[in-house]
Amino acid sequence: MQGYSPLDILQFAIAGFKLESTSSLKDIVAGGGILSMLKVSTVVIVSTAFAGIFAGTRTLDFIEVYLNKARSRGDLFLGTTIIGILSAAFGCTQTIAILLTHQLVEEKYRKEGLDNYQLAVDLENTAVVISPLIPWNIAGLVPATILSVNSDFIPYAFYLYLIPLFNLIQMKLAKAPHKNLHS
């Protein structure tokens, strides 16, 4: 507590901590508090509500119709990527992007004889790594908020967009349809 009163500590918890202006650490040891994370908390609450609505009403079932048109492993991965991007954008959290993408592609993967391991790898190579590239998605918003930066970090996060891109290129160059995908 370092000499601070309980009221000071409560204020720090709500508004964040600030050192006296004479301290050489004032720029380093500053920030935090509930108010600084209010925007992030609001996004989490709203996006969780949306995920529940989408799952309960089966509003997104029409996407499965388009996914069923996939004729190759590359087409299936591209469809998973697009669904991952849309889920990350509309769901606003990485968790919801993963859950919605999984919910929408799981049946197609099973029909094509792809195991849960391959589905998990594809989800990781799409929904997981793409989510931080959406500026309002919690996966990118929280680290940006903590580091006091805006979405200008996205062009430098090349690893996050190169993973799905290289996977897609590799699958498209293979040009071999999956054993169960129709030619």
Least Cα distance to 134 among 165, 169, 160 occurs for 160
pLDDT at 28: 66
d(CA 134, CA 93): 9
pLDDT at 169: 93
Answer positive or negative: Cα dihedral of 93, 96, 102, 105. negative
> What separation, in Å, do the N-terminal and C-terminal C-alpha atoms of the chain show?
68
pLDDT at 119: 96
pLDDT at 123: 97
Residue 84 and residue 130 in contact, taking contact as beta carbons nearer than 8 Å: yes
Residue 105 and residue 83 in contact, taking contact as beta carbons nearer than 8 Å: yes
d(CA 100, CA 64): 12
pTM: 0.69
What are the sequence ranges of the domains in the chain?
A: 1-33, 38-174
pLDDT at 181: 57
pLDDT at 175: 67
pLDDT at 27: 67
Look-up of token digits 């509003």: 59
Residues whose CB is less than 8 angstroms from the CB of residue 40 and which lie 6 or more positions away in sequence, other chains included = 138, 141, 142, 145
pLDDT at 183: 42
The pLDDT tens digits along the chain (183 residues) read: 577 888 988 888 888 877 777 777 666 666 778 888 887 778 777 777 776 787 778 777 788 788 888 888 999 999 999 999 999 998 888 988 998 898 889 989 999 999 999 999 999 999 999 999 999 898 998 888 888 888 889 999 999 999 999 999 999 888 655 555 544
pLDDT at 45: 79
Burial group, residue 60, by CB count within 10 angstroms (0-12, 13-18, 19+): middle
